[in-house]
Amino acid sequence: CAMAGWSCLVTGAGGFLGQRIVRLLVEEKELQEIRALDKVFRPELREEFSELQSQSKLTLLEGDILDEQFMKRACQGISAVIHAASVIDVFNVIPRETIMNVNLKGTQILLEACAQASVPIFIYTSTIEVAGPNSYREVIQNASEDQPLETTWSAAYPYSKKLAEKAVLAANGWALKNGGTLYTCALRPMYIYGEGSPFLYGFIDHALKNNGILPHNSKFSIVNPVYVGNVAWAHILALRALRDPEKAANIQGQFYYIADDTPHQSYDHLNYTLSKEWGFCLDSRMSLPVLPKYWLGFLLEIVSFLLSPIYRYQPPFNRHTVTLLNSVFTFSYKKAQQDLGYQPLFSWEKAKQKTMEWIGSLVERHKEASRTKTR
């Protein structure tokens, strides 16, 4: 039987993906309460969410995922958790301890809180990075869930996400305090783009300060990026499927690759495609071939390590980022289609249009700021 009147907690609800999940949840008919949890909500988002709150089922919770008492209270009386909160750090800017704490310890605290509060469903937002790529020489195309791919990097982000995902999937079948059982699954989205993307924002911001020239550092990569609206939709479908006793049996303890119909391409090409209408172009200067760049990255890591007792040197790239940006690494979403009934909600055309409009608004804002400066 479908639970009449159920409730859902979303962590990381103020983030790029989390806020999309919340907006879709608001439209779920039988959902009585959504608790949107984040460390802090930006004022403009708080305003938008307060308009949704007038539909009386959205509660904003501000607090730290590492605060056990706070997390226990957040889970009280909840029927499902979507755990989308994490510290994303591809360029090793954030201290390792912070990343391990939030991504791994935070997930463990939340799982414990669910067991205590008898929350039966737990959906974890993982990442493609838990699968790799481990070497830019290795070609992985249209891979599926039954291929044993696992990252070998010790960089804090992929490592913490890998361990957290393992913890979530291992918790499937846990006994809950009320005698029920915890059912878990994990979603591994590809690189996520779309309006509000922090990465895309960084590239565009860089280009705006640089005569419209986009950084050109991943021309050898082939990836299948995924639009944020489609990733949010996959979470809703996973939630519906885990609540359906007939579907749930196949999904419990499983992970799913989430992609869509965005063409396979390099990160550079994606940035260019989404922004060329506004006059951006790729840097045409010669760039280092991958092999020397990889070993240079290794040297920079050694320098950073040797300086670490006295100075925190931040290399512009390392072996991990060179690999990430130059690998052929694409995945099929067939299993999500079969088990979750997942079909992308947004076509590539629609996703491209929405993202381009957002980039246009950033360009306008930049022009406006420049005009104000010159006055």
The DSSP symbol for 179 reads S
Helices 348-374 and 228-243: angle between axes, nearest 10 degrees: 130
Give the other-Cβ count within 10 Å of 103's Cβ: 26
The answer on pLDDT for 39 being more than 80 is yes
144, 335 contact by CB (below 8 A):
yes
User: What is the Cα 317 distance to its own chain's centre?
Assistant: 21
Question: What does the pLDDT read at residue 5?
Answer: 80
Tens of pLDDT, residues 337-347: 999 999 999 99
pLDDT (tens digit per residue) in 289-317: 999 999 999 999 999 999 999 998 989 99
| The two structure tokens encoding residue 109 | 């605290």
Task: From the candidates 157, 193, 227, 267, give the one annotated as an active-site residue.
Answer: 157
One-letter amino acid at 264 equals H
Please give the residue range of the domain that contains residue 252: 6-197+224-262+331-346
pLDDT band for position 164 (cuts 50, 70, 90): very high
Residue 299 lies in a domain: no
User: Is 119 contained in some domain?
Assistant: yes
Cα gap 278→322, rounded to integer Å:
28
Residue 279 in domain:
no
| Prior bond of 133 cis (ω within 30°) | yes
Average pLDDT of the segment spanning 271-300: 95
Q: What is the pLDDT of residues 244-262, one digit of tens each?
A: 999 999 999 999 999 999 9
In angstroms, the CA 239 to CA 260 distance is 19
Residue 271 within a domain: no
Residue type, 9: L
Q: Which residues contact 127 (CB under 8 A, 6 or more apart)?
A: 88, 158, 161, 188, 189
The predicted-structure confidence for 109-147, as pLDDT tens digits, reads as follows: 999 999 999 999 999 999 999 999 999 999 999 999 999
Quick check: 36 pLDDT over 80?
A: yes
* Tally of domains within the chain: 1
Q: What is the pLDDT of residue 2?
A: 47
Task: Give the E-state strand segments of the chain in sequence order.
Answer: 6-11, 31-38, 58-62, 80-83, 121-125, 139-143, 183-189, 192-193, 213-214, 222-223, 226-227, 254-258, 281-282, 328-331
Indicate whether 273 pLDDT > 60.
yes
> Does a structural domain hold residue 296?
no
Here the tokens at position 167 are 């913890």
Whether 193 is a known active-site residue: answer no
Q: What is the CATH number of the domain that holds 136?
A: 3.40.50.720
Q: Is 45 a member of any domain?
A: yes
> For 63-107, how does the pLDDT look when each residue is reduced to its tens digit (9 = 90+)?
999 999 999 999 999 999 999 999 999 877 899 999 999 999 999
Q: Which two tokens mark 194?
A: 């779309």
* Residue 58 forms part of a structural domain: yes
At residue 1, does pLDDT exceed 60? no
What is the pLDDT of the chain when averaged over all its residues? 95
Q: What's the pLDDT band for 4 if we cut at 50, 70, 90?
A: low
Contact, 45 vs 84, CB < 8 A?
no
Residue 171 lies in a domain: yes
